[in-house]
Chains A and B, each alone.
Chain A
Amino acid sequence: MTTVQTGIQPISTSRRVKDRIVHVLVYLAFAIAVIPLVSVLWLVIKNGMHRFDLEFLTHSMRNIGARDAGGGAYHAIIGTLEQVSLASLIAVPIGLLTAVYLVEYGSGGRLARSISFFVDVMTGVPSVVSGLFVLAFWILALGMPFSGFAGAMALSILMMPVVVRSAEEMLRLVPNDLREASYALGVPKWRTIVKVVLPTAFTGIVTGVMLAVARVAGETAPLLLTVFFTDSINNDPFNGPQMGLPLYVFDQAGRPTDTAIDRAWTGALTLILIVMLLNLVARLIAWWRSPAKRGS
């Protein structure tokens, strides 16, 4: 009775020590992960704020000499926005429909399994390879010009697997109960998918698409091979070389003057801001569409 311990006991010292150690390790890991993120952000903001002005956002690099100050990234901002929107326009519908097929119709068949396999393979394709593919196929073989659209195609190859994977995951999270409830009301399968399954997964799909956009917006290598360079504004993504913010940063950072280096930092800052802004917009859409908004 006195020696055999039964019932509720105090926490032993060794457990207390282990708890402390694991606590410290977890916080340490967190700090190590956050340090590079914060330092990158801080550096970009510190060096980028210097030239982050109206001129930068509204002017191109046309007629800006090698040693001139001033100039801006308007042409690159336009280029990035157009290229990324076009890439999304190609990749999101295809990716979403692929995910719907995999989850709702494929059900582990041979075709579904091979699609799943090739999506995995696509995830691993280095970005420069997708650029090379478009260069070889679209520009060299078909004789099309360098253009924003060629860049968008290269980017969409990179986006597609990310969209498929994330949308697939989200669609699988939709409880089967809801599909059955809809079937039991005499709703055909395609309407069930459109009206019940996709709206339920909507928030998650939006998040996945935004991650894909963010990933692709900073790609430099495929753009180098497909949209080429220009210092002028080109609003037409289907014709002639364009610029993109990653290219702009790459280009300016390679120049020997301080003014160019400053422009490179500001270009990087602008790119981060654009991605953040898109993210914010997507979150707002998701929030606005969610039923929780109406309160429960």
Chain B
Amino acid sequence: MAKQIEVAGLDAYYGAHKAIEGITMTIEPRAVTAFIGPSGCGKSTFLRTLNRMHEVIPGARVEGKVRLEDQDLYGPGVDPVSVRRTIGMVFQRPNPFPTMSIYDNVAAGLRLNGRFSKSELDGIVESSLKGANLWNEVKDRLQKPGSGLSGGQQQRLCIARAIAVRPEVLLMDEPCSALDPISTLAIEDLISSLKRDYTIVIVTHNMQQAARVSDKTAFFNLAGQGQPGKLIEMDETSRIFTNPGQKATEDYITGRFG
């Protein structure tokens, strides 16, 4: 579990529009890497290229290399479905499947991919919900619909659903932006405990959050409207927030723009 991701010279396009350009970075295993930067700078796009979710959008394509340890994710013959099974994702808005119960939501990734016995499923559902700090709140109503939970609980349900398929890497696209501070705290605690087992990448607009949860921080920016987003710098979180190498990073962090 928990593998390193290496990205080299990555460009991503939406049709003819180049959204991000020339990104090269290494994402460490068993650590939290945060992406920060102004809106529209391509953080989310970049995150979605890491598990080949980018190409789900019609007309979207990627150039460059992404390696998970020694495997080229964009190599010929690589099945994007198996890439997504290996690299899980949590979205900005909680999106539990409305037709499924809490139990079925967590089991969805397993059930839709293969056969498991009832007892195996029970065990995985329980451990995933415990992993997402949700077990105690829902253990008495596993058969109730997932949409009946509060926003923060739904988001933790989505995290449980993502870790139930045992991914190597967990990508989180602004997982707390739709949540209240208490739910946010719960998710942040969860991220800190999950990093023992997973490689975690989180996109956030909240710089305090990046500072609190991440080990490394990458700052993205774009030169202007219509220009592709670029990686400005990436370093230890403590360095980025105290002594960044680039002027743009310092301006952004101190709130002078963005």
Segment with Cβ contacts to B, from A22-30, A73-81, A182-190, A209-217: A182-190
Known contacts A180-B53, A182-B108, A200-B99; A188 and B145 CB within 8 A of each other: no
Residues of chain A having any CB pair with chain B under 8 Å: 107, 175, 177-188, 191-192, 195-196, 199-200, 202, 290-292, 294-296
Asked whether any CB of chain A lies closer than 8 Å to the CB of B186, the reply is no
Residues of chain B having any CB pair with chain A under 8 Å: 51, 53, 56, 58, 81-86, 88-89, 91, 93, 95-101, 108-109, 112-113, 143-145, 147-148, 158, 161-162, 165
Is the CB–CB distance between B145 and A177 below 8 Å?
no
Is the CB–CB distance between A199 and B99 below 8 Å?
yes
Once bound together, how far apart are the Cα atoms of A292 and B85, in whole Å? 30
A180, A188, A200, A290: the one contacting B91 at CB < 8 Å is: A180
B122 to A: closest C-beta gap in Å: 19
B56, B83, B85, B148: the one contacting A185 at CB < 8 Å is: B85
Is the CB–CB distance between B81 and A186 below 8 Å?
yes
- Residues of A near B91 (CB, < 8 A) are 177, 180-181, 184
- Residues of B near A184 (CB, < 8 A) are 51, 53, 84, 88-89, 91, 162
Known contacts A185-B84, A187-B113; A180 and B144 CB within 8 A of each other: no
A175 to B: closest C-beta gap in Å: 7
- Residues of B near A180 (CB, < 8 A) are 53, 56, 91, 95
Once bound together, how far apart are the Cα atoms of A178 and B89, in whole Å? 13
A186, A202, A295: the one contacting B82 at CB < 8 Å is: A186
Of B56, B89, B98, chain A has the most CB atoms within 10 Å of the CB of B98
Is the CB–CB distance between A291 and B53 below 8 Å?
no
Known contacts A182-B112, A296-B144, A296-B145; A187 and B81 CB within 8 A of each other: yes
B30 to A: closest C-beta gap in Å: 21
A178, A186, A202, A291: the one contacting B84 at CB < 8 Å is: A186
A191 to B: closest C-beta gap in Å: 5
A291 to B: closest C-beta gap in Å: 4
Of B82, B112, B113, B144, chain A has the most CB atoms within 10 Å of the CB of B112
Is the CB–CB distance between B112 and A191 below 8 Å?
yes
- Residues of B near A294 (CB, < 8 A) are 101, 143-145
Is the CB–CB distance between B93 and A177 below 8 Å?
yes
Is the CB–CB distance between B112 and A195 below 8 Å?
yes
Once bound together, how far apart are the Cα atoms of A23 and B74, in whole Å? 62
A4 to B: closest C-beta gap in Å: 41
- For the complex of A and B, list the 9 residue pairs with the smallest distance between their C-beta atoms, beginning with the closest: A186-B85, A296-B148, A185-B109, A184-B89, A291-B145, A177-B95, A199-B99, A187-B112, A186-B84
Of A182, A186, A292, chain B has the most CB atoms within 10 Å of the CB of A186
Is the CB–CB distance between A291 and B99 below 8 Å?
yes
Once bound together, how far apart are the Cα atoms of A202 and B97, in whole Å? 13
Q: Which residue of A lies closest to B148 (CB)?
A: A296
Q: Which residue of B lies closest to A179 (CB)?
A: B56
Once bound together, how far apart are the Cα atoms of A179 and B81, in whole Å? 13
Once bound together, how far apart are the Cα atoms of A199 and B100, in whole Å? 9
Once bound together, how far apart are the Cα atoms of A178 and B95, in whole Å? 6
